A and B are shown apart, each in its own frame.
Chain A
């Protein structure tokens, strides 16, 4: 069962047949090494693992199976680069971030195709969401970086407190597989803007797009400022997260690994930011059905957003709470909308929903259909694996699924990370808030009403880091993102993110020539 294969000899990767429809300007290689000190570098132990594409379930390319030795090499390079990078002017770093954004934008479709092949998500999403958002993220931090200032506090006529922002130094970042490049950029852009050097470990399920990215933009950064170490969590992630030479670790993933990372951080007394997922409620108040108009259409799309990215989103609106007075009519329309989702080849631009990212993810979703049914949840649509034709036959596809039940069921309490929404009724505003907050998590939430007072009151009462109000799944760089409760610690996005990658230096200066008089 070993995942280590003999490296293949061919120059290019084994692509799905439908990839022939695209001229990929940056060919996917048959083998990827690490990116250390501004160049590709083979793993010290010479091992690689086979990376399949979820589109077909077949081998795509081999990727470095790194170990602690590679992590140390990356940290050597990062430490050698950190000091000079931290001293570059804000203008210099801003220009570099803008150049990265420009080059990524110029090659947007090539990287989008690669992301779809590596992750399985529909090309419609990588072209219109993942990549444009990644480009904008660099531009946003290039901009806010220039506007960040320290402060000078005049304490009295002789004494001034200066506050400076200083980079942390070398930071570790561990990236999830659901938005492989975008989640990397969420961490990279603010850390680079703030003047840090980085060692980044991509998810082993989706290692390719970040390598195409660094192949594209690597020359824009001084060697060692960005280092990428591929491999398995236990073999490469752990030696990175537990390393005494990192000043911070940022992680997106699940709660047990989040705890383990905090445990490591407690040994070296470094800060962590954690994004650990959610079970986000999407609340529909009765007035959404006052008219059958554009707003109601938008609300129905908002309901259907659980299928975005095949449901592999930490903020997937995976619990829908619908007011009892509109429940039957609303669900009739909602089911019809969901049944219009077009599944198909992820590389087909008309496909709305592609493949789940891995076989174990597929198996997990199916196991939730099983426990959901055993707990008495009713399947309103979907509820099974989708076996598609042709080269997709071995891929990992699941039908968009609506389950009906109550909030105590496990399908209402656990992040399935698939295209699955669990629906229940509520009777009034207090009931909606109570159900919404009856969860271990608090990352996202959605609410839909034509009444702004309802929106405001409920939005403030729901214990979640972001409450989308009459919208869902928007991810602008300018809005803070992060969790309450077990959903994590810290925020991503927004100018405030610079603080997460900086220390405060206070120079407390006396301009008085006279002694205090104590001694």
Chain B
């Protein structure tokens, strides 16, 4: 539905995850129905590599999960080992017509969240390096 976004580097802070306006609207729509939400980036078979969206209290964030940031007031996590293979890319969460399986909340709406990606630029990579190690485990403020 939407191409990649290239946020300006106005500050030293570089986002590891961003969201398209369409996906943001869908997250707000789901939050109005289900309350606070959480995203966890999946891997593996079938719907693997898709972001899964659950009620915040539904999915237990593990100690090794990496907190990538917050989109549409919703914290976004990825498995720690998976992060090692993904960390050089920025995730841009989009939404497309479709029907994901798994227990992700958007499925009955006839849409599916989709992870698009781009490489961080050298400047962004340096800024991320300078910002220190990624946060692991559940974050109090999503």
Contacts and interface: CB of A to CB of B under 8 A. Distances in A.
A3 B102 contact: no
Contacts of A375: 119
A1 B112 CA distance: 11
Given A204-B99, A363-B96, A417 B58 contact: no
B45 A256 contact: no
B107 A252 contact: no
A252 B46 contact: yes
A306 to B, nearest CB: 15
Contacts of B59: 256, 259-260, 263
B35 interface: no
Contact of A256 (B89, B98, B102): B102
B99 A360 contact: yes
Contact of B81 (A205, A363, A368, A486): A486
Contacts of B49: 254, 364, 368, 414-417
A371 B46 contact: no
Given A260-B54, A263-B59, A360 B100 contact: yes
Nearest to B49: A414
A487 B43 CA distance: 10
Interface residues of B, number: 45
Contacts of A363: 96, 98, 112, 114
B110 interface: yes
A371 B45 contact: no
A440 B99 contact: no
Most buried by A among B48, B104, B111: B48
B114 A254 contact: no
Contacts of B47: 253-254, 257
A367 B103 contact: no
A112 to B, nearest CB: 22
Contacts of A253: 44-48, 101-102
Nearest to B40: A256
A404 interface: no
A205 B50 CA distance: 15
A360 B60 contact: no
A256 B99 contact: no
A359 B101 contact: no
A79 B50 CA distance: 35
Contacts of A323: none
Interface in A425-465: 440-441
B109 A3 contact: yes
Contact of B108 (A232, A254, A487): A232
A257 B59 CA distance: 9
A4 B112 CA distance: 15
Interface string A153-180: 0000000000000000000000011100
B75 interface: no
Interface string B37-72: 000111111111110101000111010000000000
A2 B114 contact: no
Interface in A371-426: 371, 374-375, 408, 410, 413-417
A99 interface: no
A498 interface: no
Nearest to A438: B85
B110 A254 contact: no
Contacts of A486: 43-44, 81
A237 interface: yes
Given A2-B110, A177-B101, A263-B59, A367 B116 contact: yes
Given A374-B119, A440-B82, A360 B114 contact: yes
Contacts of A176: 45-46, 101
Interface stretch (A20-28, A188-196, A271-279, A295-303): A271-279
Contacts of B58: 260
Contact of A364 (B44, B50, B108): B50
A205 to B, nearest CB: 5
Contacts of A257: 42, 47, 52, 101-103
A252 to B, nearest CB: 7
A370 B116 contact: yes
B48 A367 contact: no
Given A234-B107, A255-B42, A363-B96, 12 more contacts: A176-B45, A255-B48, A255-B82, A256-B41, A256-B43, A257-B101, A276-B45, A314-B45, A360-B112, A363-B114, A371-B89, A441-B44
Interface of A: 1-4, 49, 65, 176-178, 203-205, 232-235, 237-238, 241, 252-260, 263, 275-278, 314, 358-361, 363-364, 367-368, 370-371, 374-375, 408, 410, 413-417, 440-441, 486-487
Interface of B: 40-50, 52, 54, 58-60, 62, 79, 81-82, 85-86, 89, 96-105, 107-112, 114-119
The 7 A-B residue pairs with the shortest CB-CB distance in the complex, in nearest-first order = A277-B45, A360-B98, A277-B44, A256-B42, A254-B48, A360-B112, A3-B110
